[in-house]
């Protein structure tokens, strides 16, 4: 068998005029810059099994490494598959593969491999990774027509941790998979990065090797067929072995610190919460000129703060920045979040007339906060603003919210939302930036003849310009269909309306 070095490097491959050609590529080290699949197994382990499963995988990884180099590549991968998947619901694995992994895979895409792969009209991926892990990303975001990978064994809807015949797809098994998929037809291009890829590369008309060096920068998001706007999962950074160890060691410390931070925000008077947060490592940056509180005796309507939505803590940090509690209207957040909230929260019913009447009554009592996107978005995009708020008052102040997290995301579409504030505050030094924009001038309000949709779109554009974000027409339903496979509606109790929404 020829060595991998016998093939020319991928930068020598022409990508012009390949529209009718077929490209077949390996994944780790070829389509992706990283040669290790540990971080992606770690993501599945943590998101489905929690920190204890991640610890189990981390402890098993040295054994996997020894088997990989001493016994075979197949043996090492089997250890990772067993420690990650054993006992997990297949539906949970599929959910993570659809909602969590694409963001991390896309951040490690090899530019030269992608240049060649994307230039071909038909695209196939042969990988030792479990197909259930990678197929959603490869088909939905890279436009792969066929994914041939390792098949995991399933019993009564749960993964056993073992693999189905013919086993882990490496070496000759990849060549067999290629032969089964294409028969006597030879694909034009084969891309690989190691000696075990040689059998299938030799079956292609042209073979190219992707060298681990020199280091290259990953493909930028604007070069992907479609941007990744929605993604889920708790981890911010890719969990390399070192990062996984830090997450495991920090989690108990971070949880205690989160409880302390939440207690400070909930129990202390709002005027000193800002200083308490700074003392506890939570950074709050205030920009712009916040309006003074409206005197109740004046008879004027309160100010409606129209905020971009990054987490359910947006109204809390708005109140922190103002130094006074601002009530907020929400979609059905968890009971735990309502209990520990330092501000009053009022649930929307999703009935337009009922909600409009309730918001007007709240504004008569004072200032109010609303997030018209209806749900959060992590990427630099703003979702469509619901226009109801623009019909109810002319006292509108746009507020641009930005948060920063280094270890955990404080939002989820798939998990228990009651843990959202805890995960945010579990970050070593979480931060919020609150930017108060100018109050909407009278000529741009409904009293001057502007429609509610014009006002909502204008405020969306103003906030987007401030944050250098992009406006979109995506809605809450688009997000939940992409991440959770539903439209985001959850009937909490039989007595509640069936269209109650997972929000914020």
- Residue 157: pLDDT band (50, 70, 90) is very high
Q: What is the pLDDT of residue 213?
A: 81
Split at pLDDT 50, 70, 90, the class of 134 is: very high
pLDDT digits (tens, 9 = 90+) for 423-441: 999 999 999 999 999 999 9
* CATH fold of 4-9+19-214: Rossmann fold (3.40.50)
Residue 164, token pair as written in the block: 């189905």
Q: What is the pLDDT of residue 239?
A: 97
Residue 384 has pLDDT above 60, yes or no: yes
Q: pLDDT, tens digit, for every residue of 83-94?
A: 999 999 999 999
The model's confidence at residue 209, banded by pLDDT at 50, 70 and 90, is: very high
Interior CA angle at 209 toward 23 and 239, to 5°? 90
pLDDT band at residue 123 using 50, 70 and 90 as cut-offs: very high
Is residue 493 scored above 50 in pLDDT?
Answer: no
pLDDT single digits (tens) 242-262: 999 999 999 999 999 999 999
Q: What percentage of the chain has pLDDT greater than the value 70?
A: 95
The residue behind tokens 């197909």 is 131
Give SS3 for 284: strand
The phi-psi region of residue 156 (left if phi > 0; otherwise alpha if psi is between -120 and 50; otherwise beta) is left
H or E stretch at 38:
helix 38-70
Question: Measured on CA atoms in the order 65, 71, 76, 79, is the torsion positive or negative?
Answer: negative
The predicted pLDDT at position 407 comes to 97
pLDDT at 415: 87
Instruction: Please give the Cα distance from 347 to 501 (Å, whole number).
Output: 10
Is the pLDDT score of 485 beyond 80?
Answer: no
Instruction: Determine what percent of the chain is predicted with pLDDT higher than 90.
Output: 80
- What is the per-residue pLDDT for 128? 96
**Stated pTM of the model:** 0.91
What is the 8-class DSSP label of residue 499? T
Task: Name, in order, each residue with C-beta under 8 angstroms of 280's C-beta and a sequence gap of 6 or more.
Answer: 257, 260, 261, 264
What's the whole-number mean pLDDT along residues 182-191? 93
Segment among 43-57, 185-199, 328-342, 403-417 with least mean pLDDT: 328-342
Residue 497 has pLDDT above 90, yes or no: no
Query: Residue 190 pLDDT more than 90?
Result: yes
Q: What pLDDT was estimated at residue 496? A: 31
Q: What is the pLDDT of residues 408-426, one digit of tens each?
A: 999 999 888 899 999 999 9
Nearest Cα to 363, choosing from 334, 336, 329, 333?
Answer: 329
Domain ranges of the chain: 4-9+19-214, 253-483
pLDDT tier at 495 (50, 70, 90 boundaries)?
Answer: very low
Higher per-residue pLDDT: 447 or 248: 248
348 pLDDT higher than 90: no
Backbone angles phi, psi at 161, to 5 degrees: 100, -10
C-alpha pair distances (Å), 2 with each of 191, 194, 221, 254, 410: 15, 11, 36, 52, 50
Distance CA 162, CA 75 (A): 11
Reply yes or no on whether the pLDDT at 335 is more than 90.
no
Which residues of 38-150 form beta strands (DSSP E)? Answer: 122-130, 146-150
Tell me how far CA of residue 149 lies from CA of 56, 131, 163, 367, 477, in angstroms.
24, 5, 11, 56, 32
- 286 forms beta bridges with 434
* Short-list 200, 380, 345, CA closest to 266: 345
pLDDT value for 162: 97
499 — pLDDT class (breaks 50, 70, 90): very low
In terms of pLDDT, which residue wins out, 361 or 300? Answer: 361
Alpha-carbon distances of 25 from 22, 186, 205, 209, 311, rounded to whole Å = 10, 14, 13, 10, 39
User: Distance (Å, rounded) from C-alpha 424 to C-alpha 25?
Assistant: 39
DSSP 89: B
Q: Average pLDDT for residues 135-144, to the nearest whole number? A: 95
Contact 169, 126 (CB under 8 A): yes
pLDDT band at 460 (very low <50, low <70, confident <90, very high): very high
Over 70: is that where the pLDDT of 504 sits?
no
Quick one: DSSP state of residue 31?
A: I
């Amino acid at each position: 068998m020829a060595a991998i070095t016998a093939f020319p490097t991928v930068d020598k491959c022409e990508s012009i005029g390949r529209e009718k050609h077929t490209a077949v590529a390996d994944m780790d080290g070829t389509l992706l810059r990283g040669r290790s699949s540990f971080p992606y197994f770690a993501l599945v382990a943590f998101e489905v099994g929690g920190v204890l499963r991640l610890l189990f995988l981390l402890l098993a990884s040295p054994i996997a490494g020894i088997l990989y180099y001493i016994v075979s590549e197949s043996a090492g991968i089997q250890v990772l598959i067993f420690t990650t998947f054993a006992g997990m619901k297949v539906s949970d694995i599929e959910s993570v593969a659809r909602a969590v992994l694409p963001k991390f895979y896309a951040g490690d895409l090899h530019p030269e491999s992608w240049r060649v792969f994307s230039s071909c009209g038909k695209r196939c991926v042969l990988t030792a990774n479990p197909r259930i892990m990678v197929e959603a990303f490869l088909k939905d975001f890279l436009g792969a027509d066929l994914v041939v990978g390792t098949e995991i064994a399933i019993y009564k809807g749960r993964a056993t941790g073992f693999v189905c015949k013919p086993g882990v797809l490496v070496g000759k098994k990849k060549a067999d998979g290629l032969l089964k998929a294409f028969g006597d037809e030879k694909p034009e291009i084969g891309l690989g990065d190691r000696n075990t890829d040689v059998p299938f590369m030799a079956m292609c008309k042209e073979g190219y090797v992707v060298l681990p060096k020199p280091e290259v920068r990953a493909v930028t998001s604007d070069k992907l067929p479609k941007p990744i706007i929605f993604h889920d999962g708790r981890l911010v950074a890719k969990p390399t072995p070192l990062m996984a160890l830090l997450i495991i060691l920090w989690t108990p410390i971070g949880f205690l610190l989160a409880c302390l931070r939440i207690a400070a925000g909930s129990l202390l008077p709002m005027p000193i919460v800002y200083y308490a947060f700074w003392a506890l490592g939570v950074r709050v940056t205030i920009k712009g000129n916040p309006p003074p509180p409206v005197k109740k005796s004046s008879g004027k309507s309160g100010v409606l703060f129209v905020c971009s939505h990054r987490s359910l803590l947006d109204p809390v940090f708005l109140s922190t920045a103002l130094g006074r509690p601002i009530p907020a209207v929400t979609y059905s957040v968890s009971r735990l979040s309502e209990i520990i909230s330092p501000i009053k929260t009022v649930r929307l019913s999703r009935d337009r007339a009922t909600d409009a009447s309730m918001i007007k009554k709240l504004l008569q009592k004072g200032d109010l906060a609303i997030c018209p996107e209806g749900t959060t978005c992590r990427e630099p995009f703003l979702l469509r603003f619901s226009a109801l708020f623009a019909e109810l008052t002319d006292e509108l102040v746009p507020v641009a919210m930005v948060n920063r997290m280094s270890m955990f995301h404080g939002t989820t579409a798939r998990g228990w939302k009651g843990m959202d504030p805890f995960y945010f505050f579990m970050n070593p030094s979480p931060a919020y930036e609150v930017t108060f924009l100018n109050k909407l001038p009278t000529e741009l309000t409904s009293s001057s003849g502007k429609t509610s949709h014009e006002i909502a779109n204008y405020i969306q554009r103003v906030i987007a310009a401030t944050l250098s974000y992009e406006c979109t027409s995506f809605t809450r339903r688009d997000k939940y269909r992409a991440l959770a496979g539903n439209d985001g509606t959850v009937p909490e109790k039989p007595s509640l309306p069936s269209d109650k929404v997972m929000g914020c």
